[in-house]
Amino acid sequence: MKEVFLCKYGEIVLKGANKRYFEDMLCRELRRRAANYGDFEISRAQSTIYIEPKDEFCDMDGMFESARKAFGIVAIARAAVCEKNMDSILQTAREYIPQFLVGKRTFKVEGKRSDKMFCKNSMEIAMEVGGELLSCCQPIRVDVHHPEIVVKVEVREHYAYVHAGQFKGAGGMPVGSNGTGLLLLSGGIDSPVAGYMMAKRGVRIEAIHFESFPYTSERAREKVLELAGLVSAYAGDINVHVVSLTHIQEELVKSCDEDYFTLLLRRYMMAIADKAARKFKCGALITGESLGQVASQTMEALNVTNCMTDLPVFRPCIGMDKEEIVQISHKIGTFETSIQPFEDCCTVFTPKHPRTRPELYKVEREEQKLPFDELVEEALAGMYRVQIKARY
């Protein structure tokens, strides 16, 4: 019995004249994913994308899980294909569905007749298939209000499809449909979540990571690259641009008031990220900052760092508490890596009493003790790239 995947999308349906553009991007993303699992045909019709195996060697389970992580898909069903007549539909339901009803006490059947020329309406289809399943799957019973499983029969343009319900997809918009952003990627919990959340809105991710070797270790760098790999399962290929802040931090310690170390360092990071973003044609910066979570993330502190760029700064975690961010990190598989106890550049030379209500003119006064532009250019000159291939 032949199976296919029916992928339903949400917001794309509302795109009007631009709908085809978003559909094409989503199909290309699914083709990239499918290349790892066999020879699949990807097509679309009636606001649904069909993923069809061309031979018996295709890894259906692997493709199913990968497609669920593709942004743009809100639901996906694994369905049996049959001819568009009631005899074929009833036989397919009888042979395909009982395996999904094992251990279940209640079910219902929903029919969907996209082809209005079909001989029966949606209610009639559901009633006949429901009766067929009752006759071969006793002692299960019908519950139209609170069923344990919903069997669906979809009569579409060329074929009918029978499946045991839909699974939730990743949602959002196809990656790349809303430009490219530069993610400030640390080794913590928040920034990988921020990257995931912006990728979900269609932003292709470039990443920049700041290290302080030898104060931070190679293991700390490897941890960050691993986090980028985990996010790539959703966001696709990610280039991680690594920048050393060691010299800048050493100069800060020599010349500046300790209370301002973190703020000054964040300003250097934003200035470097701004120049890198323009070089890589990114339209925005992305950070994992959450309002008030640490001293450098108060409203006043954010204002002090924001003024180092005139690019939009996306902070998808800004209104979330830590537990909400942790929940998402568990969902996308980054939490266990994020909590590995390796150093982060922001934890090096941390002041005992960081300024939480900084005044911009005082920060700028401290900053003038160092050759700011020269240190920024020096850091950019030493930047190197690590390419992370998507873990589809």
| 95 or 358, greater pLDDT | 95
Residues 215 and 205: their CA atoms lie apart, in Å, by 27
Residues 179 and 388: their CA atoms lie apart, in Å, by 19
DSSP letters along 262-280, please?
HHHHHHHHHHHHHHHHHHT
| 215 or 330, greater pLDDT | 330
How does residue 385 score in pLDDT terms, banded at 50, 70 and 90? very high
Does residue 76 surpass a pLDDT of 70? Answer: yes
pLDDT at 192: 98
How does residue 347 score in pLDDT terms, banded at 50, 70 and 90? low
Tell me the average pLDDT across 195-213: 97
Catalogue all structural domains in the chain, each as residue range(s) with its CATH number: 3-168 (3.30.2130.30), 180-388 (3.40.50.620)
What is the residue whose two structure tokens read 């980028």? 228
C-alpha to C-alpha distances, 207 to 71, 114, 167, 287, 387, nearest whole angstrom: 19, 44, 31, 10, 10
pLDDT at 217: 86
CB atoms within 10 A of CB 93: 25
- pTM of this prediction? 0.91
Does residue 198 surpass a pLDDT of 70? Answer: yes
Averaging pLDDT over each range in 2-6, 9-13, 358-362, which range is the top one?
A: 2-6
C-alpha to C-alpha distances, 66 to 61, 176, 205, 219, 334, nearest whole angstrom: 9, 18, 19, 29, 17
Does residue 366 surpass a pLDDT of 90? Answer: yes
